[in-house]
Amino acid sequence: MIEFRGVGLTYPGPPPVTAFRPCELTINRGDFVTVVGPSGSGKSTFLNIAGLLDAPTTGSYLLDGIDTGALKDSERTALRGRRIGFVFQSFHLMQHRSARENVALAMLYGAAPRADRVRRADEALRRVGLAHRLDALPSRMSGGERQRVAIARALVARPSLLLCDEPTGNLDSSNADTVLRLLEALHSDGMTVVLITHDAEVAARGVRTITIRDGVLRELRADEGDEHGRRTRADEAQESAE
Ligand SMILES: Nc1ncnc2c1ncn2[C@@H]1O[C@H](COP(=O)(O)OP(=O)(O)O)[C@@H](O)[C@H]1O
Ligand SMILES: [Mg+2]
């Protein structure tokens, strides 16, 4: 689904900053990948490239086999809208609109009539466990509920890839767990999920874990550690988060 061939990104500056070093990476349909690293290591840069928000300055990025470097801006935008859902640390909800309106308004650029949009918004909100909160305002919701509205909004366009940048960063551990369980359930239903975090415990919930340090991406292998004192994947995730 995601294929990086020598993909890297240097911000032009001055001075130029190489935020993401050229790397090879394949993420398959249905993967659940966590990406862990300290602040400033290049995690958001990676997510912005994968999400077609930023174009790499070297290499090529294939999304579902499409060479995204060959696309016009309008084509990149259309591809992003069709295939990719985003979830961010701060929920970016409209405070004076209900959960339903927040989700339904995400489809304004589509041609669907209002009744269809509302039906699909309600369906997405049911999927995230908020069937009883359709008319609630974000200001009356817990952080976990707000993030679930944001996830419903990301799902309503039926993307095949969900990119989450520190989705639990503003949540207490109980709300964070609810959100992580939801992402795990979406993964079980076939969604490809990429989750960025600086928290090793969160990173450990991925089926695959990638670390980023100083812009260098590296995959942690499940078989790297053992019971005889060699480093485990969890240890490595912990170190990478520090
Ligand atoms: N638009 C930009 N221009 C120049 N440097 C940037 C820009 N965005 C991010 N950076 C730099 O790139 C590096 C990686 O940033 P980022 O991907 O946001 O890290 P993270 O998400 O892991 O905290 C940092 O050194 C940051 O200062
Ligand atoms: Mg970031």
Residue 133 near ligand 1, beta carbon < 6 Å: no
Q: Where are the domains of the chain?
A: 2-241
Nearest to 78 by CA among 63, 94, 61, 100: 63
Which two structure tokens, joined as six digits, stand for 196?
């960025």
What's the 159 CA to ligand 1 centre distance in angstroms?
A: 26
pLDDT in tens, 11-38: 998 999 999 999 999 999 999 999 999 9
2-241: what fold? Rossmann fold (3.40.50)
Which ligand minimizes its atom distance to the CA of 20?
1
Nearest to 47 by CA among 59, 58, 61: 61
Which residue's alpha carbon is nearest to atom 27 within ligand 1?
A: 40
pTM of this structure: 0.91
What's the 210 CA to ligand 2 centre distance in angstroms?
A: 15
pLDDT in tens, 154-208: 999 899 999 999 999 999 999 999 999 999 999 999 999 999 999 999 999 999 9
Which residue's alpha carbon is nearest to atom 26 within ligand 1?
A: 40
